[in-house]
Amino acid sequence: MTFLKSSFFKKYLLPGFVFQSVTIAGGYGTGRELVEFFLNYGPLGGLLGMFLVTTLMWSIILAVSFEFSRRFKAYDYRTFFKELLGPFWFLFEIIYAVQIFLVLAVIGSAAGIILRDNFGLPYMAGVIIMLAAVGFLTFKGKGLIENFLSVWSIILYLVYTAFFIVALLKFGPMIQKNFASGIILPKWALGGFKYALYNLGTVPAVLFCLNHIESRKEAVTAGILGGFIGIIPGALFFIAVVGYYPGVLPEEIPAVFLLQKAGVPLLLILFQLVLFGTLIETGTGFIHSVNERIRATLLAKGKELLRWQRPLIALIMLSIALGIATFGLVNLIAKGYGSAAWGFLIAYIIPILTIGVYKLVKSRS
């Protein structure tokens, strides 16, 4: 815990771990997103999309965004996008609102499925437990949220590493055979591009922890590291799941499918518990970003967001998302996520690489 409180960790690693935390749940953690946007293009095609497109894009956009946030002291998305887009900042908020409810619907659906299918609890039990945990964390505020996201991300890294090792031991020849096939299907780069775009929409949920960064070097380094921190667990999972390509493609929760094939009950239980925690991570990160946006607005009017109002906002948002969750996990990821990606390209990616870079250069001169 001492390391987590160190200046080095907070400046260089915390932003990446928070980014990974809000990115992973629902589709990433269950493996569904990784199958949808990478493995669908073949074992080798998916790997190329993951590293040559997604990781590179993440690192570049995070580096520029972190420096923009530091330079203009924009630690909530309202302040950030008012500085970036001026009077058109509301365009991003519309897209972001759609994304938030999509993500909350995905994690709500996944929470219910995990406890229902693996622990025999009613579907709504998983949803209620997740809702209570998110409400508690948002009530406690920034300090506990930072610690929880960091610690749980490290636990997740350990479990994903164990998952990877077991897969190599159990399915090593099958993994090697499928990679050796050299399958690269058309549009693999588009898959990596869309996945990177959609998940960059989580950056507003990372802004609250960037106030530890004090220099351009720290911001850029943290951004570059953030891209790699975000993708490593996904890469470990992708390599593991390649052993069951193409049979794994239609599976709703590919991670559970693979662990059941591995026949390691203890790891399956541990993975489910850690996966459930990632759902809480992501829900907390997104809702906290909304709370910080509301808080900034109230502060501008000389008011304050009260502590009891934070979990109330979480409850309202998660309740709305439960209605959206009826569309199903696979459909939400395949259709909703892909559509949101193009919105972020127009309202965030292009502006930050043009207007954002111009403002940074101008402010430096």
Give residue-wise pLDDT tens across range 64-102: 999 999 999 999 988 999 999 999 998 888 888 887 887
**Residue 2 in domain:** no
Could you read off the pLDDT of 10-47 as tens digits, one per residue? 999 999 998 988 887 645 667 888 898 999 999 999 99
**Residue 162 in domain:** yes
**Residue 3 in domain:** no
Q: Which amino acid is at 343?
A: G
> Is 365 or 246 the better-scoring residue by pLDDT?
246
Helix %, strand %, coil % for the chain, to 5? 85, 0, 15
User: What is the count of structural domains for the chain?
Assistant: 1
Q: Which of 321-325, 330-334, 340-344 has the highest mean pLDDT?
A: 340-344
> CA–CA separation, 113 vs 8, rounded Å?
38
Question: Confidence class of residue 326 from pLDDT cuts 50, 70 and 90?
Answer: low
* Residue 71 vs residues 203, 263, 291: alpha-carbon distances, Å: 16, 51, 22
**Residue 129 in domain:** yes
Question: Which one-letter DSSP state was computed for residue 264?
Answer: -
Question: Which one-letter DSSP state was computed for residue 42?
Answer: -
> Is 98 or 1 the better-scoring residue by pLDDT?
98
Tell me if 229 sits within 8 A of 17, measured CB to CB.
Answer: yes
**Residue 109 in domain:** yes
- Domain with 254 in it: what CATH number? 1.20.1740.10
Torsion angle, alpha carbons of 68, 230, 146, 208, to 10: 20
**Residue 1 in domain:** no
Phi/psi of residue 76, nearest 5 degrees: -140, 155
* Residue 10 vs residues 13, 14, 170, 265, 347: alpha-carbon distances, Å: 6, 5, 38, 36, 29
Could you read off the pLDDT of 245-288 as tens digits, one per residue? 999 998 877 887 888 888 888 888 888 888 888 888 888 888 88
> CA–CA separation, 24 vs 107, rounded Å?
10
**Residue 110 in domain:** yes
**Residue 296 in domain:** yes
Range of the domain at 150: 9-364
Could you read off the pLDDT of 297-314 as tens digits, one per residue? 888 888 888 888 888 888
